[in-house]
Amino acid sequence: MIVSHDKFRLDGRTVVISGAARGLGAATAAACVESGAKVAVFDVEREQLDATTQLLRERGGEVESVEVDVTDRDQVQRAINHIVATLGDIWGVFCAAGVNQRGANEDYAEAFYERVVGINLKGTYNVMGEVLPLMRESGGGSIVTISSVAANRPGESSHEVYAASKGGVLSLSRAAAVRWGKHGIRINTLSPGYIATDMTGIASFPTELRSALDEVIPLGRPGEPEEVAWPAVFLMTDAAQYLSGMVFPVDGGADARGGVKFPD
């Protein structure tokens, strides 16, 4: 008897999602649950993480929740080891932990730089660094990282450290895809534009600014977190088994028209 496996699903596979308490991470966790995955959610915000975990379990998901500061490699290592012990070998990873702070370069304090680069770039590096050897041992896997259209089109100077951190994520991901591909590990990057999350703050944009934003995005609106989540799920499925080292803009067509000016 031939057993059919839906290449567009993640049935029975373990997926780790950092930055899963809200925004892109929470939306992707929900999409993974809907796709049949066992999901491990990591975040430093315990209360919000618990709320998200409860919602995922109400949807029928097998979910393990761990409070983790991704800038702390020891915490990441303990969390990853715990997930392997409870949910089994890790197949997929979505590195969604991220932060954006604005401020002119001359006003930067070292703590400002350390926080933005620490969470966005070092956090991604730490998670990847702990799961890659385990994926090699278990026969492969798929990692999806989050960069930003700001990595290639930084726009205003208030985004320069954020843009640098996301550019680092992009380069880290592509280099790792080359190195680890021979072990059956695929690494791809999503590059979102304006997505309606707490971090972008689109909901609080003045009416004039929101109208201007809608006009310059070819699809006529900012994206929703779910519209990033499902491409992430796709990249973790067998349907994407020959995609690696790629960068995929998820921006409603904005990059094709030359980008969008990021407002202060």
CB count, 10 Å around CB of 226?
13
Give yes or no: 162 in active site: yes
Residue given tokens 């680890």 in the structure block: 180
Measured distance CA(86)–CA(97) in Å, rounded: 22
Strands ordered across the beta sheet of 185-192: 63-67, 38-43, 14-18, 90-95, 141-146, 185-192, 247-250
Measured distance CA(118)–CA(73) in Å, rounded: 11
Measured distance CA(71)–CA(125) in Å, rounded: 9
Report how many helices (DSSP H) and strands (DSSP E) the chain contains, helices first.
Answer: 8, 7
CB count, 10 Å around CB of 210?
15
Q: Identify the active-site residue in 108, 162, 194, 242.
A: 162
Measured distance CA(97)–CA(14) in Å, rounded: 18
The separation between CA 65 and the C-alpha centre of its own chain, rounded to angstroms, equals 17
Q: Which residues contact 151 (CB under 8 A, 6 or more apart)?
A: 163, 166, 167, 169, 170, 191
The separation between CA 132 and the C-alpha centre of its own chain, rounded to angstroms, equals 16
Could you give the angle at the alpha carbon of 177 between the alpha carbons of 173 and 179, nearest 5°?
A: 120
Q: Which residues are catalytic?
A: 162
